Amino acid sequence: MKRIEGGVTAAAGFCAASTAAGIKYKDRDDMALIFSETPCRAAGTFTRNVVKAAPVKWDQRIVSESEFAQAVVVNAGIANACTGKEGLGYCRETARAASAALKIPEEAVLVASTGVIGMQLPIDRIKAGVEAMASCLSGELKGGTAAAQAIMTTDTKKKEVAVQVEIGGRTVTVGGMCKGSGMIHPDMCTMLAFVTTDLAISKELLQEALSEDIKDTYNMISVDGDTSTNDTVLLLANGMAGNPEITEKNQDYEIFCQALNMVNETLAKKMAGDGEGCTALFEVKVKGAESKEQAVTLSKSIITSNLTKAAIFGHDANWGRILCAMGYSGAQFDPEKVDLFFESKAGRLQIIENGVALAYSEEEATKILSEPEVTAIADVKMGSATATAWGCDLTFDYVKINADYRS
């Protein structure tokens, strides 16, 4: 597997564009368009929040019922959530505008929105934005990068990645972009992710690959414990790599799954590391668990602990907060067998052994925890199962950002 430059336009046949539609933000692009030269097999995973935004409802139907998809229209600034029949109607109007501009069926257009909940979209600006983007689509890397920048809300940096693998004697590319900074919490987070590939694969296996992979990627991140109304991950495959179509779970399927995992995990970590106001990516690895479920439960409990997140912000090796979070997680373990380590580029340090603090150096611990990427490793010594979760520290700026998000 080779990491390459780019994002959603890295795979053959995909192009993208962005425009400043003036939906909420001024003097910046706030709409993006992804388009494939040929029809795509489409897969998707969506929020489990009972309150689902209109674009989620639209995309669930398109992914489930449409023969193919060929375009994705994304806007930033307004979420089109809790907007009733009018909001769902605007999804159709957006798809209709894309259909006319791109000369594809209305039912081949997916839509996504992110931003403030409860506001109606300025549909005239949305439709004008679609027309503008359709005329400036680019298959170059800069087209994908511009799209990744346009969908940002409180994000501080664009998020994109691409990889290449060999499948069936052909070079296959998988690329993606995402946005997400706040209202991020596992259970398919406000997060949007779009992955494109030129692989030829059946729709059923494409969906299965995505559904399985999000369990260890997007569903293992948390910034603030709030599950968004708009969470969407879309995966489009246009088959232009020319490989023999994957119709069974063989070696080619496994290679694709590895490439998909690399893209999704990278994007997930970029979101966690860009949490609103954060200064550090906080990674938690649980090892020695008796089951995968136990490891997942423990790791997610630690990354969602506000007290632990605050300690990471303060570069404080307050290991008692980690054990406390493990203890209320609901997973059963023996706290008197737990070993805990902190790790970063500055080094690795064991903090407790068999549930008891060691004579470690607080100065060294602070040095390790002062890096922009910090890992806590908890070994519960019950088996061989592992899980990794990603979050971030909790800072003063998180409160500042969310105190007046609508302004």
Residue 205 and residue 246 in contact, taking contact as beta carbons nearer than 8 Å: yes
Tell whether the model's pLDDT for residue 376 goes beyond 60.
Answer: yes
352: helix, strand or coil: strand
Residue 284 in tokens = 């938690």
User: What is the distance between the alpha carbons of residues 142 and 140, in angstroms, rounded to a whole number?
Assistant: 5
pTM above 0.85, yes or no: yes
As annotated, the active-site residues are 190
User: What would the pLDDT profile of 230-284 be if each residue is shown by its tens digit?
Assistant: 789 999 999 999 999 999 999 999 999 999 999 999 999 998 877 777 889 999 9
In 198-317, alpha helices (H): 203-213, 251-273, 292-303, 306-313
User: Which homologous superfamily does the CATH classification assign to the domain defined by 2-273?
Assistant: L-amino peptidase D-ALA esterase/amidase (3.60.70.12)
Token pair 């069974």 in the structure block, residue: 248
Q: How confident is the model at residue 397 (pLDDT cuts 50, 70, 90)?
A: confident
User: What would the pLDDT profile of 321-333 be if each residue is shown by its tens digit?
Assistant: 999 999 999 999 9
Cβ-based neighbours of 155, under 8 Å, separated by 6 or more? 179, 180, 181, 274
Give me the torsion for CA of 81, 84, 85, 87, rounded to 10°.
-30
pLDDT of residue 184: 44
User: What is the distance between the alpha carbons of residues 58 and 243, in angstroms, rounded to a whole number?
Assistant: 31
Residue 158 in tokens = 């664009």
pLDDT of residue 222: 76
User: What would the pLDDT profile of 333-342 be if each residue is shown by its tens digit?
Assistant: 999 999 999 9
The full set of domain ranges for the chain reads 2-273, 281-403
Mean pLDDT of 33-37: 98
Mean pLDDT of 8-18: 98
pLDDT of residue 180: 76
Q: How confident is the model at residue 406 (pLDDT cuts 50, 70, 90)?
A: low
User: What would the pLDDT profile of 245-255 be if each residue is shown by its tens digit?
Assistant: 999 999 999 99
Q: For residue 257, what are the CA distances in angstroms to 192, 268, 283, 373?
A: 20, 16, 23, 26
pLDDT of residue 347: 98
Give a three-class secondary structure readout of 108-128.
Answer: HEEEEEEEECCCCCCHHHHHH
Q: How confident is the model at residue 288 (pLDDT cuts 50, 70, 90)?
A: very high
Residue 41 and residue 202 in contact, taking contact as beta carbons nearer than 8 Å: yes
Q: What rounded mean pLDDT belongs to the chain?
A: 93
Tell whether the model's pLDDT for residue 225 goes beyond 80.
Answer: no
User: What would the pLDDT profile of 68-93 be if each residue is shown by its tens digit?
Assistant: 999 999 999 999 999 999 999 999 99
Amino acid, res. 72: V
pLDDT of residue 317: 96
CATH topology of domain 281-403: Ubiquitin-like (UB roll) (3.10.20)
Tell whether the model's pLDDT for residue 108 goes beyond 80.
Answer: yes
The beta-strand segments (E) located in 124-169 are: 160-167
Token pair 């500042």 in the structure block, residue: 400
Tell whether the model's pLDDT for residue 367 goes beyond 70.
Answer: yes
Residue 386 and residue 378 in contact, taking contact as beta carbons nearer than 8 Å: no
In 66-122, alpha helices (H): 84-102
